Structure 1
């Protein structure tokens, strides 16, 4: 019978039980399909009321950890491994969430929104924002976003090849729908953004991971995969790769672009973090524009809730992109695009982006100061860092113990495509905590934990 130790977990007892359950799922001590004790049995063991256990199970079920079957009992849910680590809701009281790669708070964004809404309220030409509109979005919005991409991402794009989307993830989904069919092979880095795995699963395409080095995907691995699997696309984050934080050199970008052209493999280039690295090489789309579907978004640079992304693609993909937009959202709300354009044209967007760059650099500097060599050697520009945990820690156990101490992070496993890489590392997100003081507290917990020997309860018997 599952018998958690909740004595070291602060907060209400029902939350402590739910948190202990989440930790044991993360560490693999509870597996999908495992049956949990009855409410009465667990209450007796933990010396709490049956009502406390009922509330704890309800909280765990809300998080997707449990399923209840009438007449049979309560079981650990079958679920995607990433769901255990990423809960896009406010973290439990007292927890510092460094698992989600959010941008840091930016007061100017709220002021910009207020100014835009005030200006819109004085206009007498709002009727175009109410009916159905062109799938691609307004021409004025696409022209404004093209200017933004040129300034912030160092890429000249044709607005006629741009489709406005409901955020970057929507743009990537539309790009994937344009280049691949169910059963096709799509390539990515062996460690990559978790969302592409979810998209690949939804679209029933085969996602295969490629070997990486300090810059990202290795050309030799891409070449071999092109000859072996006849892939339809390669998904890349060349600037501030998620999760490793790597930035590809221009030579690496050219090498991958030339291989893609030679084998006619589309490149889906995710440049969502490009604005954070103004001195990085230009996007691959500038090297191979007819081979690249370029994805951008305002979520990390301006505000996630605007839900504005953009997809710039070669002409041969346009009809399938529009079919995907029509089948999913029909169009991106033009009112949100109008607000984003207002920020851009008024100069507020550039200031917000600059503020975000400064805050990211400030938090990265703090991380280097506290963690030292543990912070790794990736670029000191992004919202996250890739921290290698010292032996004999396993990443998943380090994450579980960090959560016990009030810090939420994510291990190597959730970013791996295919076979798990032989490394023990965690992604630490510096942008999601509300304040620099919370960042400092979280980093100190991780540093102190890394300096301590592994807790014997995490040592596996093999």
Structure 2
């Protein structure tokens, strides 16, 4: 005799399709512990009847939840809550900016099994073109279109992650010892590569929408030691680390300033989950914008496939730079990418990542609402602005209680700048660990010798 399910079906109170509301309701009850591992879930027809929705709607919701690793189905027995991983480390790491883990072992196993049945041996028998096989680039073009970026396959280069895509863009747009303008706080990987390659990185003042056009205009009109043209590295959507997102007016102003001074743009769009209606800068100025993205932030960190959309006149040079930095993007990774894109798993995971990031941001708000800058849209990090010395003391205090945060020096374009802050990444840890970490961070802030709120200026 089958045991009755302990779950009373309901739909989450939100403006969304019934399947999404059912997914949210069940995910909330599983992640908060109201449903435990191995608890039975009601049959599809039972839920459909009690909620007045179609059986297909329930099936769609269960499929999404199984892809996320929250439930498992057993032939002839039913559907059950899957066991969630618990704490594995003594230290909770909030310093690595990754999305929540949503590709389950079962889904990865099915993906690899499907690949093994239909793999093309020619993918492994010869070197691919520098920018990747054309069919893989076409699939990437379709994926980018879902994020709001329109591109041609001939202008897309597949790279080993967004880091390599940025390295190629930096190499093509800069001469040795050249200057790159960016936000005053920016992506640590861009900072380290610029310093390693010998570029001069100049941080510019920002506000709540990111890079300020007036400050950029003033910086670009200054002499640059004989450098021809200028290069601007910018993250318009879910800026890392400040979380700022540019509105359409700000994006047009930035493009106008760059056209005025004939500056090239390197646009980092890896944190966009397609939730904004604002076009990328590359759509507004395709003739001068190098657009970088990656599946690592929108599907899974282990899927190291980046894409670089290159302006028409720079495609040849970019391909040469890519070839010089790496022989090829992994054929196996491309095969995994193709399978995930074709069978719809990647799109499902991207949607689920957006929902899960919202859940984690709301949890962070419950502890740090009045202290931290939160993103306007979904994202994996929050920003605690404060003076540099205060930020360094905060990082030391966090480490002392077993919480790793991004050190303030890692995000500062100018190592000598006084203003800065702490980036807190909420995507990587398990939800239970994240709650513990946020409680400790809240206590550190409250027990600080400085009773005033942290410095909130973006300057």
Is 1:445 matched with 2:440?
A: yes
**1 CA distance for matches of 2:388 and 2:190?**
31
Residue 121 of structure 1 corresponds to which residue in structure 2?
A: 116
Residue 55 of structure 1 corresponds to which residue in structure 2?
A: none
**2 CA distance for matches of 1:296 and 1:148?**
10
Matches within 5 A, 1:409-424: 409-418=405-414, 420-423=416-419
**2 CA distance for matches of 1:124 and 1:106?**
25
**2:230–2:263 CA contact under 8 A, matched in 1:** yes
Residue 399 of structure 1 corresponds to which residue in structure 2?
A: 395
CA shift for structure 1 position 419:
5.6
Residue 232 (structure 1) aligned to one of 220, 230, 233: 230
Give CA deviations for 1:270-299 in whole Å, capped at 9, x if unaligned: 100111x51241111110011100101000
**1 CA distance for matches of 2:405 and 2:307?**
29
1:377–1:355: structure 2 CA closer, same or farther, 3 Å change rule?
Answer: closer
Residue 157 (structure 2) aligned to one of 158, 163, 187: 163
1:99–1:317: structure 2 CA closer, same or farther, 3 Å change rule?
Answer: same
Matches within 5 A, 1:230-309: 230=224, 232-275=230-273, 277-309=274-306
**1:185–1:229 CA contact under 8 A, matched in 2:** no
Residue 425 of structure 1 corresponds to which residue in structure 2?
A: 421
Moved over 6 A (4+): none
**1:302–1:352 CA contact under 8 A, matched in 2:** yes
**1:162–1:313 CA contact under 8 A, matched in 2:** yes
Is 1:107 matched with 2:113?
A: no
**2 CA distance for matches of 1:392 and 1:452?**
19
Give CA deviations for 1:147-190 in whole Å, capped at 9, x if unaligned: 11011x11111111001000000000011111101111111101
Matches within 5 A, 1:365-404: 365-388=362-385, 394-404=390-400
**1 CA distance for matches of 2:208 and 2:288?**
24
Residue 353 (structure 2) aligned to one of 352, 356, 372: 356
**1:393–1:454 CA contact under 8 A, matched in 2:** no
CA shift for structure 1 position 317:
1.3
Residue 222 of structure 1 corresponds to which residue in structure 2?
A: 216
Residue 169 of structure 2 corresponds to which residue in structure 1?
A: 175
How does the TM-score come out when normalised to structure 1?
0.74
How does the TM-score come out when normalised to structure 2?
0.75
**2 CA distance for matches of 1:244 and 1:278?**
18
CA shift for structure 1 position 411:
3.9
**1 CA distance for matches of 2:270 and 2:191?**
17
Residue 15 of structure 1 corresponds to which residue in structure 2?
A: none
Residue 130 of structure 1 corresponds to which residue in structure 2?
A: 125
1:373–1:421: structure 2 CA closer, same or farther, 3 Å change rule?
Answer: farther
CA shift for structure 1 position 104:
1.4
1:252–1:357: structure 2 CA closer, same or farther, 3 Å change rule?
Answer: same
**2 CA distance for matches of 1:93 and 1:274?**
30
How big is the alpha-carbon RMSD for the aligned residues of Structure 1 and Structure 2?
2.0
CA shift for structure 1 position 132:
0.8
CA shift for structure 1 position 423:
3.6
1:408–1:444: structure 2 CA closer, same or farther, 3 Å change rule?
Answer: same
CA shift for structure 1 position 413:
2.9
Q: Unpaired segments of 5 or more residues in structure 2?
A: 1-86, 451-459
**2:388–2:419 CA contact under 8 A, matched in 1:** no
1:424–1:235: structure 2 CA closer, same or farther, 3 Å change rule?
Answer: closer
**2 CA distance for matches of 1:124 and 1:242?**
37
